[in-house]
């Protein structure tokens, strides 16, 4: 048992840190430090910088452009990316559909799609959730009917994150309406410019446009866009959701936010002293830091166990990462509100290119309330925390 990083791992961390310091564009970094979103253009710019270095898809097999890093190295890379802070790679491509394609897809699909994911030439969206199928994903009703060399797709997907930028969407569709719930589902890749597709924004509580509804009205999809076998889509979806776990705790991102809160609370006065010296405030902060340290160690335990775990089988303990990670992220946004005090109130419209109005009060205060409102999502998406508890109860406790 040796709980510290090896000298090689520390050297690797320093290499990554230095690369980020020298290559992450300042305007992108400043935007993220301020708590604003990276735009589509920012993400493309950063992904291409990483791709040139060979680091855009580090966790993929080497033959498809991966790095061959150990799980610990991959963890360090993700952590440094969050700490920088740099934009995360578009997960729908690199973490979701990419691994499905290189694991279950045809040679043509691999050639056509994988390099375009790594370079973010293709912006992928996810078409899983439906109005009637959220946590109970297998209840989905969008249909794909085979007609000659095409599937005809009808139905509706929802919560399609950043779908307004989407070039392609990967979908779960029902190909056998008579089969049992999980059987009869297929995994389709659809060009979002196809006739019959309509994308409508869903505006979330803070006023932002992050998610969408996508409607499918007799959309023609070539049969070569089916991944793997017809009616086996549920297996691929389970594989995909199992891969989603890496970095789900977002420890690095939470550390970066705590650092930011400390800087702001050192400058902000509470009466005649800096807010950071307010006993109650700083104890709340320390309390979150303790939970985060424990979570970091839990994350490392899961990462270390990856070496010995069967491939494609997610560690049920990663449900803990989701539960605790989301709770901590939410607590941090809550504490950030307290730093701004009354200046959380003025509403400022954020577009994806930044703010379009001058601030009322301190510049740094304006993103804090929107972030707090928006972050209520993290305990809901990717399987709500209640679903995670069901998973642990069943898979770990045997209840």
Partner 1 sequence: MDFDLSEEQRMLKDSVDRLVADKYDFDKRKAYLKNEHGFSREMWGQFAELGLLALPFAEADGGFGGGPVETMIVMESLGRALAVEPYMATVVLSGGIIRHAANDAQRAELVPMIAGGEKIFALAHHERAARYNLACVTTKATKDGDGYILDGEKSLVLNGDAADWLIVSARVSGGDRDEDGIGLFLVDARAPGVSRRGFWNQDATRSAEISLSKVKVEAGHVLGEPGKAFPVIERVVHEAMAALCAEAVGGMGVAHADTVEYLKTRKQFGVTIGSFQSLQHRAVEMFVFLEQSRSITYFATMMASENDAAERARAMSAAKVQIGKSLRFVGQQSIQLHGGVGMTYELRVGHYFKRGTMIDTLFGDVDHHLAKLSAMGGLIAA
Which is nearer to partner 1, 138 or 317 (by Cβ)? Answer: 317
CA dihedral 25, 371, 264, 327 (to 10 degrees): -110
Stretch that binds partner 1, among 32-40, 85-93, 165-173, 254-262 (CB under 8 A): 254-262
Q: How far is the CB of 355 from partner 1 (least distance, A)?
A: 25
Contact between 2 and partner 1 (CB under 8 A)? Answer: yes
Residue 267 CA to its chain's centroid (Å): 32
We find the least distance from the C-beta atom of residue 266 to partner 1, in angstroms, to be: 6
Contacts (Cβ under 8 Å, ≥6 apart) of 46: 24, 25, 28, 38, 86, 87
The residue (of 62 and 286) whose beta carbon lies closer to partner 1 is: 286
Which window, 46-54, 171-179, 227-235, 390-398, contacts partner 1 (CB under 8 A)?
390-398
Q: Which of 9, 183, 213, 244 is catalytic?
A: 244
Provide the 8-state DSSP code for 206. T
| 7 interacts with partner 1 by CB under 8 A | no
Question: For partner 1, what does the binding mask look like between residues 316 and 355, x meaning CB under 8 A?
Answer: -x--x--xx-------------------------------
Residue 21 binds partner 1 (CB under 8 A): no
Residue 331 C-beta-side C-alpha neighbours within 13 Å: 19
Residue 288: CB minimum distance to partner 1, A: 9
E strand or H helix at 230: none
Round to whole Å and give the CA distance between 34 and 366.
9
First-to-last alpha carbon distance for the chain, in angstroms, is 32
Residue identified by tokens 């855009």 is 56
Site string for partner 1, 293-312 (x = CB under 8 A): xxxxxx-xx-xxx-------
- In terms of CB distance, is 164 or 326 closer to partner 1? 326
* Binding flags for partner 1, 70-89, as an x/- string (CB under 8 A): --x-----------------
Decide if 8 is catalytic: no
Least Cβ distance, residue 52 to partner 1 (angstroms): 29
| Per-position x/- string for 256-295, each x denoting binding to partner 1 as judged by CB under 8 A, each - no binding | --xx--xx--x------------x--xx-xxx-xxxxxxx
Of the pair 59, 324, the CB lying nearest partner 1 is at: 324
Reduced to 3 states (helix: H, G, I; strand: E, B; else coil), residue 21 is helix
For 83, list phi and psi in degrees, rounded to 5: -70, -25
H helical segments located in 54-178:
71-83, 91, 98-104, 107-118
Show the binding pattern over residues 348-387: x = contacts partner 1 (CB under 8 A), - = does not: --------------------------------------x-
User: Given the DSSP bridges, would you call strands 185-191 and 354-355 parallel, antiparallel or unpaired?
Assistant: unpaired
Angle at 384 between CA 341 and CA 160, to 5 degrees: 85
For residue 213, the cross-strand partners are 200
Instruction: Please tell me the distance from the alpha carbon of residue 312 to that of residue 321, in angstroms, as a whole number.
Output: 18
Q: Would you state the torsion angle of the CA atoms of residues 247, 252, 254, 257, taken in this order, to the nearest 10 degrees? A: -140
Number of residues that bind partner 1 (CB under 8 A): 48
Kindly report the number of other CB atoms within 10 A of residue 65's CB atom: 20
| Residues engaged in binding partner 1 (CB under 8 A) | 1-6, 9, 72, 255, 258-259, 262-263, 266, 279, 282-283, 285-287, 289-298, 300-301, 303-305, 317, 320, 323-324, 386, 389-390, 392-393, 396-399
Provide the annotated active-site residues.
Answer: 244
């Amino acid at each position: 048992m040796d709980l510290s990083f090896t000298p090689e791992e520390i050297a690797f961390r320093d290499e990554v840190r230095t690369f980020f310091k020298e290559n992450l564009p300042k305007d992108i970094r400043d935007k993220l430090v301020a708590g604003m979103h990276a735009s589509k253009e920012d993400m493309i710019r950063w992904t291409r910088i990483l791709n040139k270095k060979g680091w855009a898809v580090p966790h993929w097999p080497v033959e498809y452009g991966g790095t061959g890093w150990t799980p610990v190295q991959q963890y360090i890379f993700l952590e440094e990316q969050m700490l920088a802070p740099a934009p995360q790679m578009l997960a729908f491509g690199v973490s979701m559909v990419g691994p499905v394609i290189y694991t279950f897809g045809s040679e043509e699909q691999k050639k056509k799609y994988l390099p375009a994911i790594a370079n973010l030439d293709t912006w992928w969206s996810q078409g899983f959730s439906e109005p009637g199928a959220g946590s109970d994903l297998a209840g989905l009703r969008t249909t794909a009917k085979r007609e000659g060399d095409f599937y005809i797709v009808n139905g509706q997907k929802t919560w399609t994150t950043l779908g307004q930028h989407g070039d392609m969407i990967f979908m779960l569709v029902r190909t056998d309406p008579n089969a049992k719930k999980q059987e009869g589902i297929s995994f389709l890749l659809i060009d979002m410019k196809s006739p019959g597709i309509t994308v409508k924004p869903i505006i979330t509580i803070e006023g932002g446009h992050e998610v969408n509804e996508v409607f499918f009205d007799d959309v023609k999809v070539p049969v070569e866009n089916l991944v793997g076998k017809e009616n086996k889509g549920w297996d691929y979806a389970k594989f995909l959701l199992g891969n989603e776990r890496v970095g789900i705790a977002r420890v690095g991102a939470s550390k970066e936010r705590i650092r930011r809160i400390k800087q702001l609370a050192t400058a902000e006065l509470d009466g005649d002293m800096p807010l950071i010296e307010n006993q109650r405030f700083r104890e709340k902060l320390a309390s979150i830091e303790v939970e985060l340290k424990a979570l970091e160690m839990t994350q490392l335990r899961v990462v270390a166990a990856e070496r010995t775990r069967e491939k494609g089988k997610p560690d049920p303990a990663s449900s803990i990462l989701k539960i605790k990670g989301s709770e901590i992220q939410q607590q941090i946004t809550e504490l950030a509100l307290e730093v701004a005090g009354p200046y959380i109130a003025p509403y400022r419209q954020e577009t994806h290119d930044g703010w379009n109005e001058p601030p009322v009060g301190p510049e740094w205060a304006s993103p804090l309330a929107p972030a707090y409102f928006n972050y209520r999502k993290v305990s809901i998406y990717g399987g709500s925390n209640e679903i995670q508890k069901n998973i642990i109860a069943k898979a770990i406790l045997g209840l």
